[in-house]
A = this chain, B = another copy of it.
Amino acid sequence: MREVYADHAATTFPRHPQVPEAMSSFLLDIGCSPGRGGYRRSLDASRLVYDSRALMAEFFKVPQPEQVVFTPSVTYSLNLLIKGLLQQGDHVIISSMEHNSVVRPLTRLVRERAVTLDVVQCNTDGTLDPLQVKNAINNQTKLVVLTHASNVTGTFLPVHEVGEILKGKDIFYAIDVAQTAGSESLGFGAMNCDYLAFTGHKGLLGPPGIGGLCISERAAEATESLVEGGTGSRSEDENQPGFLPDKFESGTLNVPGIAGLAAGVKLVNELGLETLQKHKRELTAALLLGLAEMPEIEVYGTKNPHTTAATVSINVKGMDNGDLSFMLEQGFGIMTRSGLHCSPLAHRTIGTFPQGTLRFSLGWTNTSSDVEHILSALSEIIREN
């Protein structure tokens, strides 16, 4: 059966062969650990890591390569900044579209560090009035965390406008670009943020197991590490080094993951960010257009391909979205994800808690024929149920 992968918000698929090739090439041709030995192979590994760091810095327009810290995942990046920055009694502002990778660590800090949390309410289409953030600021406000785009509806949050509001204030600003890196142009400086948390295995087309955090100088200083250990630097010191990137990178790095991420980002650069964005918008527009003609289907989000990532959440009247997801795969080879997508707050916001939605998320490997296939499959399922 034909396969149509529509779960790009979970991970990119199919992967370009140059990603595993870059990983194999590191493992077989270089193979050694970076920064730990003085021999050529170790230096080659260090160079690969440095070059990849510089590539990421260029991609996100971060001033210095060492301001890019490699982490195992965007979830780790978010935990690192949340737990590393917030202290007893600090106030935090997040949106009501945030993922559990933001909500769960904060729920813990509310309990353990008496952190106070304001969840600013997004509209039912997932949009947010930036003034909501402004109005929530108080004297204790230490951090604002926003996702660039919801993983449920794809809706963009006004990250640039909030950056303007926070400019010059003594408040740290974190943006989760898990859903937009590799599709949207993201300037670290232009967004006026302190933290940009990314993952390698979605729009950046790399492998799972690698992500990162771009960090401002003031944030690097104010943030404690999440994990301490061997850094290959200042080994004589029983304290973690304070400088970047070593402060936040303990233990042997995931160099095959870094090599795979670099291969993915090079592919994004070759394909062109604008081309990728345009392609995904066209597919999203076609999907939204087709869905709008089916009265049995409720579509969530802005329903506008220019204010949303390539993610569309729906429910079909009278059908369980888990059953629908199953039928789409069994009958038509279409891979989707149903349920809550690890974002209960977002589902409360759009009015789909606790049943959730069926999510289609499109990517660079999808075609307009895939969208037609999805639409005709939905028609057929609705007709027969």
Interface residues of A (CB under 8 A from B): 5, 7, 10-11, 13-15, 17, 19-21, 23-24, 27-28, 31-33, 36-42, 72-76, 78-79, 99-101, 103-105, 107-108, 199, 201, 207-210, 226-232, 235-240, 250-257, 260, 322, 325-326, 329, 335-345, 353-354, 356
Contact = CB atoms under 8 A, between A and B. Distances in A.
B11 A252 contact: yes
11 contacts: A15-B31, A20-B27, A32-B335, A37-B335, A37-B336, A38-B322, A38-B325, A72-B209, A100-B228, A100-B238, A209-B210
Nearest to A227: B79
Contacts of A40: 329
A206 to B, nearest CB: 10
Contacts of A235: 100, 339-344, 356
B28 A20 contact: yes
Given A38-B329, A229-B104, A73 B24 contact: no
Given A33-B11, A235-B341, A252 B208 contact: yes
> Most chain-B CB neighbours within 10 Å: which of A31, A74, A209, A329?
A209
Nearest to A21: B24
A308 to B, nearest CB: 21
Contacts of A42: 7, 10, 335
Nearest to A100: B230
A340 B254 contact: no
> Most chain-B CB neighbours within 10 Å: which of A37, A74, A326?
A37
A335 B41 contact: yes
Contacts of A74: 251
A36 to B, nearest CB: 5
Nearest first, the 6 A-B pairs at minimum CB distance are: A209-B254, A75-B251, A230-B342, A101-B229, A104-B228, A20-B24
A341 B256 CA distance: 22
Contacts of A240: 104, 108
Given A32-B335, A251-B73, A325-B38, A227 B105 contact: yes
A240 to B, nearest CB: 5
Contacts of A75: 227, 229-230, 250-252
Nearest to A337: B37
Given A103-B238, A104-B229, A208-B254, 12 more contacts: A10-B252, A13-B31, A13-B32, A72-B76, A75-B251, A79-B229, A104-B240, A105-B228, A107-B238, A209-B252, A209-B253, A226-B227
Contacts of A199: 252
A114 B319 CA distance: 56
Contact of A14 (B10, B31, B104): B31
B17 A20 contact: no
Contact of A24 (B24, B208, B209): B24
Contact of A20 (B23, B36, B335): B23
Contacts of A104: 228-229, 238-240, 250
A366 to B, nearest CB: 14
Nearest to A325: B38
